Amino acid sequence: MKIYTEIPEIKPITPLLDKVNFPTDLRSFSSHELKQLADELREFLLYSVGISGGHLGSGLGVVELTVVLHYLFNTPEDNLVWDVGHQAYPHKILTGRKKTIDKIRHKEGLAPFPSRAESQYDVFGVGHSSTSLGAALGMALANKDAVNKKHTIAVIGDGAMTAGMAFEALSHAGHEKPNILFILNDNDMSISENVGGLSNYFSRIWASKLYKGIRKSGSSFLKNLPQAHHLARKVETQMKAMVAPGMIFEELGLNYIGPIDGHNIDELLEVIGNLKEFEGPQFLHIITKKGAGLDAAEVDRIGFHAISKIKPKDSSKNKSPKYQDIFSDWIVDTAKQDQKLIAITPAMREGSGLVKFSKDFPDRYYDVAIAEQHAVTLAAGFACEGKKPIVAIYSTFLQRAYDQLIHDVALQELDVTFALDRAGLVGEDGPTHSGNYDIAYLRCIPNLVIMTPANESETRMMLSTAYNYNGPATVRYPRGTGPKSEIDRGLASLEIGKANLVRKGSDDVIFLNFGSLLHEAIAACENLNLTLIDMRFVKPIDKDILRRFLSKANLFVSLEDGSIAGGAGSSIQEFCAEENIIIKSKLLGIPDKFIDHASREEMIEEVGLTAKQIEETLQQLI
């Protein structure tokens, strides 16, 4: 494997990769040529991600594995399922998308993750983690009686293996025993001593065709030794217990092989080539380096998980803080004042802004890995004992813990604060990561306070409001930076359920804003002289201000960075029906469709929520 010291800015020379447009093109290569192809693929990946920006570290780590899988298996007839999809860039390059990979995550470019709509080689759409094993198992079971047998392979990372649903799928696979290959891409460590030597030796034995014959007791020699199978299996079990960390998978009914070096093409070819012929569920454990092949990425695996496109460095010293930075400062300041504060996150320390907190208060910080359901119930347990837990989680990931939110927190009215990052349209990561639905799925839950800050200052105050409220409360805020409002560094709270009259204008049309698009609303309302109210709270809603202004208006317009269906605007319509207020309405927000990846600004424009578009809509209504 070649090692690169920097990301190339000039397109590299790749004679073998140039010949590969689809996997069939590489299946005539020799093992030596496959190694050269892997080097060229890695360099081309570095170059293309440098142009486009995007996920880098995971893809670098699976270059050799990707080459071998497409070489050995008859994709797309055979099913190859990638978990999450961060690691699927090399897969996309080898499956007909090489010429467009530099537009990945851009508007009208390639999707950031495998997408069934994009390619027949993407057999399952992903984005959230830990779904590959269950999906692949469904495919394997669906094809178990087919005349033309398909191979089914799922590649899952060690981080995704921390989710409960991954083990649910493994347990079911051990029960059903279909022909399926699960590959654990373990990149949490460098190649360690147990990859090689005795462990590698036994891994090759267990994955050999000879040993397969011994286990099946199929040869004429073994017919004379009826106990050979049982003896071989007993020895295998004992040796695996000594040299391999895979006994849990054996107990689930899987044949565990590994760990092996995930960057050694010869070893991958031998082991996976043999496992193709095995019957039943196979579990192959490979060790890789995240960021493999780029010096800086191997050292800083977190920093190079994803990168921005290469461009001249910004010399500005006064960069606006991101919303996650607002949260970071607030939680550290609050923790200094209250020893009861506990921070919980499901593997989102960097993204949620908990790095400083984790260093300053390590005894009060809990990263539960990719286990959103557990994160919420863990918080409930803390609250039962008088602690003040804060769950820092992306809006799109809270969806995975909906039952726990209702059953374990809201029903029991427990004092848990939810800091919902990445609410609304998120940009390049696309519909799997956009937090469009939290207002709709939260506001139907009793006992829950829901806040939608409009800027950085309101975000800090609402976090304090949620924390000081004795019960479950959520604060949703978007990805990226805000409108640069002046931030009060104190820990003041707002009155629960109290809206803010931003400007007084015409009494005929009332504009109601929920959340981060207030600056767009202000520009539109000023040009049209409309009354503008920043509602701040979706639940409880400010009924007093609504009665005062809506009872004499002909039209209200609501704006939210969330789904129109079931959203905050719908709550205003419900209020008017309850109060018998006869009024027309126009709800502005995200329409009832998934919005494809683009920049956040392009997404907002696509759904008609820029100031200019809002003003044009209002002019037509008025």
Query: Following DSSP, what letter does each residue of 348-368 receive, concatenated?
Result: -HHHHT-HHHHHH-GGGEEE-
CATH architecture of the region 500-621 = 3-Layer(aba) Sandwich (3.40)
Cβ atoms within 10 Å of 89's Cβ, excluding its own: 30
Q: What is the CA radius of gyration of the chain?
A: 27
pLDDT-derived band at 430, boundaries 50, 70, 90: confident
Looking at residue 578, the DSSP 8-state letter turns out to be H
In this structure, of 83-87, 178-182, 277-281, 555-559, the range with the lowest mean pLDDT score is: 83-87
Q: Is 400 one of the catalytic residues?
A: yes
**Residue of 92, 289, 400, 476 with catalytic role:** 400
For residues 51 and 94, give the distance between their C-alpha atoms in angstroms, rounded to a whole number.
18
Mean pLDDT for 54-78 is: 91
pLDDT tens profile 490-548:
999 999 999 999 999 999 999 999 999 999 999 999 999 999 999 999 999 999 999 99
Q: Is 301 one of the catalytic residues?
A: no
Cβ atoms within 10 Å of 6's Cβ, excluding its own: 11
pLDDT tens profile 184-206:
998 864 333 444 554 565 566 55
Contact at 8 Å (CB) between 597 and 430?
yes
Pairing, β 152-157 against β 79-82: parallel
pLDDT-derived band at 301, boundaries 50, 70, 90: low
Dihedrals phi, psi of 155, to nearest 5 degrees: -110, 120
Q: Where are the alpha helices (DSSP H) in 218-306?
A: 220-223, 228-243, 247-251, 265-275, 295-299
List residues bridging with 282 in a β-sheet: 181, 255
Indicate whether 336 pLDDT > 50: yes
Whole-number Cα distances in Å, 294 to 34, 261, 549: 19, 18, 61
Write the CB contacts of 275 (distance below 8 Å, at least 6 apart in sequence). 181, 207, 257, 282, 284
Indicate whether 227 pLDDT > 80: no
Q: Report the percentage of the chain scoring pLDDT > 70.
A: 86
For residues 237 and 241, give the distance between their C-alpha atoms in angstroms, rounded to a whole number.
6
CATH number of the structural domain 17-192+277-307: 3.40.50.970
pLDDT-derived band at 553, boundaries 50, 70, 90: very high
pLDDT for the residue 360: 97
Indicate whether 229 pLDDT > 90: no
Mean pLDDT for 247-252 is: 84
- Domain 17-192+277-307 identical in fold to domain 500-621: yes
For residues 267 and 450, give the distance between their C-alpha atoms in angstroms, rounded to a whole number.
54
Class of the domain covering 323-476: alpha beta
Mean pLDDT for 439-460 is: 97
For residues 317 and 234, give the distance between their C-alpha atoms in angstroms, rounded to a whole number.
65
pLDDT tens profile 88-100:
999 999 999 999 9
Q: Is 547 one of the catalytic residues?
A: no
| Joined tokens for residue 596 | 């494809």
pLDDT-derived band at 81, boundaries 50, 70, 90: very high
Per-domain boundaries in the chain: 17-192+277-307, 323-476, 500-621
Contact at 8 Å (CB) between 85 and 129?
no
Indicate whether 219 pLDDT > 50: no
| Joined tokens for residue 58 | 């995971």
What is the H or E stretch that residue 181 is in? Answer: strand 180-186
Sign of CA dihedral 189, 191, 197, 202: positive
Mean pLDDT for 1-25 is: 89
**Residue of 43, 372, 456, 615 with catalytic role:** 372
Task: Spell out the long-range contacts of 190-197 with Cβ–Cβ below 8 A and sequence spacing 24 or more.
Answer: 190/289, 191/261, 191/263, 191/287, 191/289, 192/287, 194/243, 194/244, 194/245, 194/259, 195/259, 195/260, 195/261, 195/287, 196/261
Contact at 8 Å (CB) between 152 and 143?
yes
The number of CA neighbours under 13 Å toward the Cβ of 518 is 29
Looking at residue 111, the DSSP 8-state letter turns out to be -
**Residue of 35, 240, 289, 290 with catalytic role:** 290
Q: What is the mean pLDDT of the chain?
A: 88
pLDDT-derived band at 218, boundaries 50, 70, 90: very low
Looking at residue 7, the DSSP 8-state letter turns out to be -
Indicate whether 214 pLDDT > 70: no
pLDDT tens profile 160-175:
888 889 999 999 999 9
For residues 356 and 29, give the distance between their C-alpha atoms in angstroms, rounded to a whole number.
50
pLDDT-derived band at 58, boundaries 50, 70, 90: confident
pLDDT tens profile 358-371:
999 999 999 998 89
Query: Following DSSP, what letter does each residue of 26-50 receive, concatenated?
Result: GTT--HHHHHHHHHHHHHHHHHHHH
pLDDT for the residue 548: 96
